[in-house]
A and B are shown apart, each in its own frame.
Chain A
Amino acid sequence: AQSVAQPEDQVNVAEGNPLTVKCTYSVSGNPYLFWYVQYPNRGLQFLLKYITGDNLVKGSYGFEAEFNKSQTSFHLKKPSALVSDSALYFCAVRATTDSWGKFQFGAGTQVVVTP
């Protein structure tokens, strides 16, 4: 079975400060890892993914994430947050051995960026 934990329901950060959204996962074998963002009344938008290779992954809108196998973590980061980054963020995992391609999503973390 696979699972994802996002330990913070909400993260508050001032505009211009670094933003970190935490994610840990559990999966049998190796993972594919993903981050999505959801704005109010919208679907989920893909931000970035880790498949293999470099542990630091860069994605859309200046976001990046670091895969840490020993800590089973995939934290999302942005060096300088914008008010427009305020949204709901989801981490997801998919086992490389899962032929059905199922994704397991975390509960989500609400990011609030204040001016």
Chain B
Amino acid sequence: NAGVTQTPKFRILKIGQSMTLQCTQDMNHNYMYWYRQDPGMGLKLIYYSVGAGITDKGEVPNGYNVSRSTTEDFPLRLELAAPSQTSVYFCASSYSTGTGGTEAFFGQGTRLTVV
């Protein structure tokens, strides 16, 4: 299994450009998440999903959009990129069990710079 795969690993955008960060997982997990990591600020939840077709906003959703058309894929769309969106973005997935919670599995991250 590849786990959680994110592409691209690095990207430089100009202000006002748009892009999509790709995330796919091959573990059949129902939960998926997008986080951003800013220096000294820990991880902030952008969007999350409990299954195909079901998404909701996290702490910092402004400037982003998501879709979940399949269990495997959870792309994050940046419209009109701004310097404040310069960050490292992590996609993660997890699943629920009848007896307890499971840990999240993380991708390797996408380092985005907006100039």
Interface residue? A90 (CB, 8 A):
yes
Q: Which residue of A lies closest to B111 (CB)?
A: A41
The residues of A that contact B104 with a CB separation of less than 8 Å are 34, 44, 46, 92, 103
The residues of B that contact A101 with a CB separation of less than 8 Å are 31, 48, 50, 94, 96, 101
Number of residues on chain B facing chain A (CB within 8 A) = 28
Q: How far is the CB of A61 from chain B (nearest CB, A)?
A: 15
B42 with A43: CB separation less than 8 A: no
Q: How far is the CB of B91 from chain A (nearest CB, A)?
A: 9
A46 with B40: CB separation less than 8 A: no
The residues of A that contact B106 with a CB separation of less than 8 Å are 36, 43-45
B50 with A100: CB separation less than 8 A: yes
The 7 closest A-B pairs by CB, nearest first: A32-B101, A107-B42, A51-B100, A43-B106, A101-B31, A105-B43, A44-B106
24 contacts between A and B (CB under 8 A): A9-B40, A34-B104, A43-B4, A43-B90, A44-B43, A44-B90, A44-B92, A45-B106, A46-B103, A46-B104, A49-B101, A51-B100, A99-B50, A100-B50, A101-B94, A101-B96, A102-B33, A103-B33, A103-B104, A104-B45, A105-B43, A107-B40, A107-B42, A108-B40
